[in-house]
Chains A and B, each alone.
Chain A
Amino acid sequence: MNYRRLLAVARTESIHNLRDVRSLFVIVVLPVVLLLLYGYGINYDLRNVPFAVQDLERTELSRSLIQHLVSSGYFQLRQVIHDQRQIAESLDRAAVVFVLVIPPDMGRRLGAGRPAKVQVLVDGADTTRASVAVGYIEGALLAFSGKLGAEYLARQGLSAAGGLDVRPVVLYNADLKSVRFIVPGLMAILLTLLSGLLTSTCIVREREWGSFETLVTSPALPPEILIGKILPYVVIAFADTLLSIGAGALIFGVVPVGSRLLLLFTSFLYLLASLAIGIFFSTIMRTQRLAILTTTLVTLVPTIQLSGFAFPIRSQPLVLQVISNFIPATHYLIIIRSLYLKGADLLVLWPRVLALLVFTVVLVTVAARRFRKQL
């Protein structure tokens, strides 16, 4: 191994990236845009869910129910409906997410000690939002009902004894802020995108340009060429890792609870694995376009689909759950989420870290063995 040859390759590769607008975009602009877009844009938290009310009872009780919903902070009353036909219309316009219909006999039934029915019509077009909204509504109504029950008992001179008192305590992400979940996921996406996509072109590009012949006819050894090629991307991807950790902390206030060293180490492993995948396709594909396409197909798509970034793994078919184990991103995501949210340490995480390490070693070996100093 000769470090001068290695550095010559690395320097040239860096110059390509600095002089190519497209790769500069991928390196600098893409991470920032993605981070901001995802960090602000993707938000599973619901606040101020707009709703409408058709109050057929119009009593003290019905008004206090509406007040109860509004004061929770999760719901915002946008419209009071007087006509049945307005319900469908305002849901169709997506002006509100749900319509609460209070029956005229709610108070009477409750007063008679019978259950009263409240109707909630939810716009299910956006299933994610709808299911979250339904959960919130149920919770709010249940609380209201409990309050009524307690008041009733109190009026009877009794205290609310017995029954189940459910008090869920959410650990790790106490106020269930989804940004804490998204920022680590985004780091995985970024690393996959950057390391995979950038390296997927770096060998095949030289083949297309004809400059690979200079390398092949030179006395540079395959490992010198390979490491020289990868080195700039390791630096770039690692810098982008630091950038997203920093942006996560500064912009979104998301700070890892666990070991930062372990976070950096596993991120490094993961970016090496992604780089190796990119390099692998760069050595076997004939054109840059093909290399980019296949790399995206085997890295980014499964990373988003299967890694639990967007969809929970447990809600996916068993086959996909099994497959997800063979994607480095799955393990990396679990590791960094644990580090960010739970503060887990190596004692707990070692199987995942080991899996990632094995992936990295295997992928780098395969890519290195596949690389030939041949035209």
Chain B
Amino acid sequence: MGEPAVSAQGLTKCFGAVCACQGIDLTVAPGEIVGLVGPDGAGKTTAFRMLCGILPPDHGTARVAGYDVVTQSEAVKARIGYLPQRFSLHRDLTIDENIQYVAELYTVPRDEWQSRREELLEMTYLAPFRRRLAGRLSGGMRQKLALVCALVHRPEVLFLDEPTTGVDPVSRRDFWKLLHDLPRQGVTMVISTPYMDEAARCNRLAFMYAGQVLATDTPDNLRRQLPGELMQVRCRPQREAREALKRCSAVRSVEVFGDRLHVLFHGTADPMLCERLLADAGVECLEQQPVEPSLEDVFMSLVSEHGLTATATGNGL
């Protein structure tokens, strides 16, 4: 398919003693939706900023839409759309005015952006609110407006930094519907998210933790990557159960998912072993069954494999 839409090698950026990104490698083929998945502080935003040509990396190189992000950053900027994590349009401008502002910053010819604006407002159902100030829009509508503005100049690559964080579930679903239509229009997307359910909607994922990419693959392949089998256990009291299971050499790791424990074995899951361990610890086992690994299981396992500590909510740096 020719040149990849995004290709990064060894992107590194440190702020003083803290390294937000340490050797990020990423390749995105045209038309793909690639998700950067990781907790807050994993370095997703810094990676985005380097890829968008607004933050020069300390080391490493990257090409986006065919241009070098350091030496040809303005050419990169003209060919990408970037939706920052924080709402970054003008609150005291209306929807229409914001779109015009962005369109002219990207020097889209007037008749072109005007028809494009209609099309995008139609698509996002924002047309009835076009004269409303951006500051008076709901969170979901604001994100749609940001998306419209990021698309008005027909970018080749769209970078979305946690676009649905802080957006209600219904609006999140709407937003993703819009995103899924974009590859057909020839837009390549890199999207960051802390949500695993959103990650599952991407073609390919890059798991990020503490400034590093731990794994890159399709969601299905990543799930298969889990070294060993998984057993889901519901028991009381949970804390003792977890301690007991962790002590066993056949158990690779134990993660808490609400009132359930996910027990990852080295190799095959052994229900008998699990039961015995719990009984010995005086824990009442309510339910246990083998389960297919979720992306979260894979992520947690990768994190602990790297000798890094993390909690299920994830707090990196």
Q: Which residues does A use to contact B, with CB under 8 Å? A: 2, 4-5, 7-9, 11-12, 15-16, 19-20, 209-221, 373-375
Contact = CB atoms under 8 A, between A and B. Distances in A.
A16 B92 contact: yes
Interface size class of B (residues with CB under 8 A): 20 to 34
Contacts of B84: 210, 213-214, 217
B9 interface: no
Interface in B86-143: 86-93, 97, 100-102, 104-107
22 contacts: A2-B107, A8-B104, A12-B93, A15-B97, A210-B84, A210-B86, A210-B87, A211-B88, A211-B89, A212-B88, A216-B54, A217-B82, A218-B77, A218-B102, A219-B75, A219-B77, A219-B105, A220-B105, A221-B74, A374-B54, A375-B49, A375-B55
B90 A16 contact: yes
Interface in B54-84: 54-55, 74-75, 77-78, 82, 84
A274 to B, nearest CB: 25
A373 B55 CA distance: 10
Chain A contact surface mostly: helix
B52 interface: yes
Nearest to B82: A217
Given A210-B84, A375-B54, A215 B92 contact: no
Contacts of B104: 4-5, 7-8
B88 A219 contact: no
Given A214-B102, A217-B84, A4 B89 contact: no
A15 B94 CA distance: 10
B105 A5 contact: yes
B107 A4 contact: yes
A278 B100 CA distance: 28
Contacts of A375: 49, 54-55
A209 B75 CA distance: 26
Nearest to B75: A219
A48 B164 CA distance: 74
Contacts of B100: 8
Nearest to A373: B54
Of the candidates A15, A217, A218, A220, the one having the most CB atoms from chain B within 10 angstroms of its own CB is A217
A333 B49 CA distance: 47
**Which of A16, A211, A220, A221 is most buried by chain B, counting CB atoms within 10 A of its CB?**
A211
Contact of B89 (A20, A214, A216): A214
Contacts of A2: 107
A162 B89 CA distance: 83
